[in-house]
Structure 1
Amino acid sequence: TRVRVPASEHAAALAAAALAEDWRDGRYRQATSAPVQLLVEGLGADEQARIEALGAGLTLARDLVSAPANVLNPATLAREARTLEAHGVDVDVWDGDDIAARGMNLLAAVAAGSATGPRLIRATIPARGEAHTVVALVGKGITFDTGGYSIKPAAGMVNMKSDMGGAAAVLGAVRALAALRDLIPEGVEVRAYVAAAENMVGPDAMRPGDVYRAANGLHVEITNTDAEGRLVLADTLTVACEEGATELVDLATLTGVKVSALGNDIAALFSSDAALTARLKAAAQDAGEHVWELPLHQPYLRTYRKGTVADLKNSDMQPAGASSKAALFLGEFVTRPWAHLDIAGNATREEHATGWGVGTLVEYVLAR
């Protein structure tokens, strides 16, 4: 199939849209559609390179989200991340022993019910020149979520292979940015962190009522094992801050009530920093993605401190304000300017992975 995009001021946007629309996961079907040959007129070399880089990042993210959980688990996700090394990205992977040694007991607890241990993945694009800004992109990488002992109903578990949509977005963004490294402002280092785990039922799985010491020293009581994403992010945000991040953006398919509030097209944006908020809003607009800022209303966090033997509990079991409360929980683990994008519902549309967030993150870094 040939698609001709005539020369116009919209040619770049149309070409990017055509590339995105052409993606289909044909890895598990005998019959696949013919590839699209895109004929774009009037594009400069820089525009073409940018579109191709974004297309590669989107393809990686969508392939990861679409992969079934018997194919993609924390170990194989780490292996996929290693492929970024061929594009000049420095990739480090920590296994369960390394994670325990770093005091990341929340990440370890989430993974404890699975036969596949957790992985912490760090993918770095070094700065050109001396680094003065370290941008940390943090992705939730729950490769399958049963809910644990707070188990999901069958219908709610069907699409839980996509609970690593945040991880896919940050890795896809790194893939694109690696190809565009000459456009990243001088002195800006990009680090992607992925907290990878399966939330399963098993003899060693965490239970409601268990208490764990987080990497930053806070103790967290588990009231809901299905509120696991905030646990793996908490430890990872702590480590990113400890390793020198100057600002952080995390992406996570975190709360179902976000979908009730904003639907599947719009991500919820929470942020501790007004300038960071403005940059992310502008980046999303440039990428053709949609975000809506929601409040970090501090009084809501009180319910996470009441009725617990620990510093915090991971859920108050109430749907009202749950997205804000989850974001506030994460805020207890950051010490730098930080933004949280709740992308529940955004990572897939019908049966197809979207790659949501790749474009926003790329635009955000390039404008830094």
Structure 2
Amino acid sequence: MPLVTAMDAADLTLSFVTPDGGRLTRDLSGGEVRLTARHEDGDQAAALHPAGAAEAREVGAALMRLARELKATRVRVPASEHAAALAAAALAEDWRDARYRQATPAPVQLFVEGLGADEQARIEALGAGLTLARDLVSAPANVLNPATLAREARTLEAHGVDVDVWDGDDIAARGMNLLAAVAAGSATGPRLIRATLPSRGEAHTVVALVGKGITFDTGGYSIKPAAGMVNMKSDMGGAAAVLGAVRALAALRALIPEGVEVRAYVAAAENMVGPDALRPGDVYRAANGLHVEITNTDAEGRLVLADTLTVACEEGATELVDLATLTGVKVSALGNDIAALFSSDAALTARLKAAAQDAGEHVWELPLHQPYLKTYRKGTVADLKNSDMQPAGASIKAALFLGQFVTRPWAHLDIAGNATREEHATGWGVGTLVEYVLAR
């Protein structure tokens, strides 16, 4: 959807009203958009004045749903205190993946009165990042694999991002045996992607954004049931989010604090079944020297992240945030709208919470309860096993496992369930990461 700066005539015009605005609008609730009139020269809709940014986002999303229903292609919104939040939500709601359909919807133009040039530039940058993330998550696994994901990451070079890609031999040379093992059942092999947005001036802070990039997850020999496998093309939602954030930040680099370098690391692999695939009982040496016994091949995300977090620390990251569709029990605990936040650093936690609130995304902090890690050290021939096969506290235990591979302030966002909603990719995390970096 293009965000335009002027519009002569609109197919759909929104008005803000008071609760006692008449028979058609007196029972409107906050965030609701209601069609009030239909005319040959354009339809009219109404909403209450948003009480805050969150309500403005609800209005923006509802307005776009109404526009789709009415097949409106030119939408006008009056000025409001929270125009930027409304516009950003409207643009996000309008996204649909039409790459694999013969019939494509007509593009919608949105004109929001009173929107400043700087606000519009920020919204458009975020929109570009969200679109990239959503396109990646939505792509089927026969289109997007570790090799093609690396090619997509290289498109960021056109926006001033330095992109480096390591394949299987490079990964083995770095001692990333966990990443290599997860990818061993796939003909494509693994990729480690690093996308760097250089700092303005000498770098004093290196922010590493680490994304789980499992482009398809069968579960390996601990194979998933059919119902649990069908949507596993979205198991790279964390990778999509960090690449989308870098795409947005590349357009907003003038707003990134001087001396802050941003690096996105993506651990890309397919978790497949094959003669070389990892098996329960196998033991691998991680990049930091710890040995890990594989008890569950479907607990693969923590393996690829472990090696990648180690490499990010070794390459000088001063703080790290990883995003991963990691544990199904996170969905049981918090649902699909709220991400689980784990962190080793109180200041980093506070910044991420503030960033999520500013982005209109939701996080909830869960504890890194160290005693839970004991079960990953019992009954194994190695330093750690990758799962104790018990769902109780599984999200916490997975986060504790990752914590064994970081040596800097670190936060982990478990976004299982967040990457898609009603079969549509969301791009969850792009907004939070962008706000986090800009406020750094």
SS in structure 1 of the partner of residue 244 of structure 2: helix
Task: Give the stretch that moved more between structures: 35-44 or 213-222.
Answer: 35-44
Structure 2, unmatched stretches of 5+, are 1-72
- Counterpart in the other structure of 1:158: 230
Q: Is the 8 A contact 1:143 1:197 kept in 2?
A: yes
Q: Deviations over 1:275-319 (max 9, x none)?
A: 000000000000000000000000000000000000000000000
1:45 Cα deviation from its structure 2 partner: 1.3
Partners of 2:281 and 2:390 in 1: CA distance = 17
Q: Deviations over 1:172-191 (max 9, x none)?
A: 00000000000000000000
Q: Deviations over 1:147-177 (max 9, x none)?
A: 0000000000000000000000000000000
1:104 Cα deviation from its structure 2 partner: 0.1
1:34 Cα deviation from its structure 2 partner: 1.3
- Counterpart in the other structure of 1:310: 382
1:3 Cα deviation from its structure 2 partner: 1.6
SS in structure 1 of the partner of residue 144 of structure 2: coil
Partners of 1:206 and 1:224 in 2: CA distance = 10
Which structure has the greater CA radius of gyration? 2
1:6 Cα deviation from its structure 2 partner: 1.4
Partners of 1:61 and 1:228 in 2: CA distance = 22
- TM-score with structure 2 length normalisation? 0.83
Task: Report how many aligned residue pairs link the two structures.
Answer: 368
1:61 Cα deviation from its structure 2 partner: 0.2
1:249 Cα deviation from its structure 2 partner: 0.1
Task: Give the stretch that moved more between structures: 26-35 or 238-247.
Answer: 26-35
Q: Deviations over 1:51-106 (max 9, x none)?
A: 00000000000000000000000000000000000000000000000000000000
- The counterpart of 1:215, out of the listed 283, 287, 291, is 287
1:9 Cα deviation from its structure 2 partner: 1.1
Q: Which runs of 4+ in 1 moved over 6 A?
A: none
SS in structure 1 of the partner of residue 180 of structure 2: helix
Report 1:189-338 matches (<5 A): 189-338=261-410
Q: Is the 8 A contact 1:106 1:212 kept in 2?
A: yes
Q: Is the 8 A contact 1:5 1:14 kept in 2?
A: no
Partners of 1:2 and 1:322 in 2: CA distance = 48
Partners of 1:238 and 1:296 in 2: CA distance = 19
Q: Is the 8 A contact 1:269 1:342 kept in 2?
A: yes
1:109 Cα deviation from its structure 2 partner: 0.1
Partners of 1:113 and 1:208 in 2: CA distance = 13
1:29 Cα deviation from its structure 2 partner: 0.5
Q: Deviations over 1:3-61 (max 9, x none)?
A: 21211111111110110011000000111211110112111111111000000000000
SS in structure 2 of the partner of residue 163 of structure 1: helix
1:350 Cα deviation from its structure 2 partner: 1.1
Structure of higher RCO (CA pairs closer than 8 Å, 6+ residues apart) = 1
**Sequence identity percentage:** 97
Q: Deviations over 1:189-215 (max 9, x none)?
A: 000000000000000000000000000
Q: Is the 8 A contact 1:137 1:192 kept in 2?
A: yes
Q: Deviations over 1:323-361 (max 9, x none)?
A: 000000000000000000000000000110000000000
SS in structure 2 of the partner of residue 204 of structure 1: coil
Partners of 1:2 and 1:346 in 2: CA distance = 30
Q: Deviations over 1:197-244 (max 9, x none)?
A: 000000000000000000000000000000000000000000000000
- TM-score with structure 1 length normalisation? 1.00
